[in-house]
Structure 1
Amino acid sequence: MSRLHRSRIADFQEVLGEPTVALGKLRDLCFSGIPFDGGLRCLCWKILLNYLPLERALWSSLLKKQRELYSQFLKEMIIQPGIAKANLGVSREDVTLEDHPLNPNPDSRWNTYFKDNEVLLQIDKDVRRLYPDMAFFQRPTDYPCLLILDPQNEFETLRKRVEQTTLKSQTVARNRSGVTNVSSPLKSSPNSLGEYEVLPNGCEAHWEVVERILFIYAKLNPGIAYVQGMNEIVGPLYYTFATDPNSEWKEHAEADTFFCFTNLMAEIRDNFIKSLDDSQCGITYKMEKVYSTLKEKDVELYLKLQEQNIKPQFFAFRWLTLLLSQEFLLPDVIRIWDSLFADDKRFDFLLLVCCAMLTFETRSVKFVGQRLLFSSEIYESPRLETSALNSRISLTLPVPASDCMGCRL
Structure 2
Amino acid sequence: MPETMSILRKRLSDYEEITKSEEIDLSNLRRLCFHGIPDEGGLRPLCWKLLLNYLPPTKASWSETLTRKRELYKTFIEDLIVMPGESDNDGDRVDVTFDDHPLNLNPDSKWQTFFKDNEVLLQIDKDVRRLCPDISFFQQGTDYPCTAIVNTSGVKRLHRRVQHTVLKSANVERKGLGITKQIAVAVRKAVEDYAPLSEGGEAHWEVLERILFIYAKLNPGQGYVQGMNEIVGPIYHAFACDPDWQWREYAEADTFFCFTNLMGEIRDFFIKSLDEAEFGINSMMTKLTRQVKDHDYDVWLRLNQQELCPQYYSFRWLTLLLSQEFPLPDVMRIWDSLFADENRFSFLIHICCAMILLLREQLLAGDFATNVKLLQNFPSMDIQIVLSKAAALAGKTLNSP
TM range (shorter): 0.7 to 0.9
Structure 1 segments unaligned to the other structure (5+ residues): 180-190, 399-403, 405-409
Tell me how far 1:37 sits from its aligned partner: 2.6
Equivalent in the alignment of 1:61: 64
Provide Cα deviations, 1:45-97, integer angstroms capped at 9, x if missing partner.
0000000000011111111111111111111112666726994444xxx1xx3
TM-score under structure 2 normalisation?
0.87
Match of 1:68, as an amino acid?
Answer: E
Provide Cα deviations, 1:122-161, integer angstroms capped at 9, x if missing partner.
100000000011111001111111121115x584331322
Rounded Cα–Cα distance in structure 2 between residues aligned with 1:378 and 1:131:
16
Q: How does 1:148-167 map to 2 (within 5 A)?
A: 148-151=149-152, 155-162=155-162, 167=163
Rounded Cα–Cα distance in structure 1 between residues aligned with 2:87 and 2:348:
45
3-state secondary structure, aligned to 1:222: coil
Q: Which moved more, 1:12-21 or 1:255-264?
A: 12-21
Tell me how far 1:381 sits from its aligned partner: 6.2
Tell me how far 1:34 sits from its aligned partner: 0.5
Equivalent in the alignment of 1:16: 19
Equivalent in the alignment of 1:293: 291
Rounded Cα–Cα distance in structure 1 between residues aligned with 2:296 and 2:356:
9
Establish whether residue 138 from structure 1 lines up as the match of residue 139 from structure 2: yes
TM-aligned CA distance change 1:277 to 1:227, over 3 Å: same
Rounded Cα–Cα distance in structure 2 between residues aligned with 1:172 and 1:372:
21
Equivalent in the alignment of 1:186: none
Rounded Cα–Cα distance in structure 2 between residues aligned with 1:116 and 1:228:
15
TM-aligned CA distance change 1:169 to 1:43, over 3 Å: closer
Provide Cα deviations, 1:284-314, integer angstroms capped at 9, x if missing partner.
1111110011111111111111111111111
Tell me how far 1:272 sits from its aligned partner: 0.6
Tell me how far 1:172 sits from its aligned partner: 8.5
**Correspondent of 2:37 among 5, 27, 34:** 34
Match of 1:56, as an amino acid?
Answer: K
3-state secondary structure, aligned to 2:396: strand
Equivalent in the alignment of 2:302: 304
Contact map agreement 2:154 2:199 (CA 8 A) in 1: no
Tell me how far 1:360 sits from its aligned partner: 1.4
Match of 1:114, as an amino acid?
Answer: F
Contact map agreement 1:315 1:372 (CA 8 A) in 2: no
**Correspondent of 2:396 among 381, 388, 394:** 394
Equivalent in the alignment of 1:357: 355
Rounded Cα–Cα distance in structure 2 between residues aligned with 1:275 and 1:87:
43
Q: How does 1:2-401 map to 2 (within 5 A)?
A: 2-78=5-81, 83=86, 87-90=93-96, 94=97, 97-151=98-152, 155-162=155-162, 167-169=163-165, 171=167, 175-177=173-175, 195-365=193-363, 366=366, 367-368=368-369, 371-373=372-374, 379-380=381-382, 382-384=384-386, 385-386=388-389, 393-396=395-398
Rounded Cα–Cα distance in structure 2 between residues aligned with 1:294 and 1:224:
32
Tell me how far 1:281 sits from its aligned partner: 3.1
Rounded Cα–Cα distance in structure 2 between residues aligned with 1:322 and 1:7:
33
Q: Which moved more, 1:296-305 or 1:362-371?
A: 362-371
Match of 1:161, as an amino acid?
Answer: R
Rounded Cα–Cα distance in structure 2 between residues aligned with 1:5 and 1:320:
31
TM-aligned CA distance change 1:224 to 1:382, over 3 Å: closer
RMSD over aligned CA atoms reads: 2.7
3-state secondary structure, aligned to 2:276: coil
Tell me how far 1:363 sits from its aligned partner: 1.3
Contact map agreement 1:324 1:333 (CA 8 A) in 2: yes
Equivalent in the alignment of 1:187: none
Equivalent in the alignment of 2:182: none
Contact map agreement 1:136 1:206 (CA 8 A) in 2: yes
3-state secondary structure, aligned to 2:389: strand
Rounded Cα–Cα distance in structure 1 between residues aligned with 2:115 and 2:146:
24
Match of 1:272, as an amino acid?
Answer: F
Rounded Cα–Cα distance in structure 2 between residues aligned with 1:224 and 1:207:
22
Rounded Cα–Cα distance in structure 1 between residues aligned with 2:125 and 2:225:
12
Rounded Cα–Cα distance in structure 1 between residues aligned with 2:166 and 2:351:
39
Q: Which moved more, 1:213-222 or 1:192-201?
A: 192-201
Which consecutive segments of 4 or more residues in structure 1 shift more than 3 A?
79-82, 84-90, 153-156, 167-175, 191-194, 369-372, 374-378, 387-391, 394-398
Identity %: 51
Provide Cα deviations, 1:199-219, integer angstroms capped at 9, x if missing partner.
110011000001010001000
Structure 2 segments unaligned to the other structure (5+ residues): 178-188
TM-score under structure 1 normalisation?
0.85
Q: How many residues end up aligned between the 2 structures?
A: 377
Provide Cα deviations, 1:88-107, integer angstroms capped at 9, x if missing partner.
444xxx1xx30222222222
Contact map agreement 2:130 2:194 (CA 8 A) in 1: no
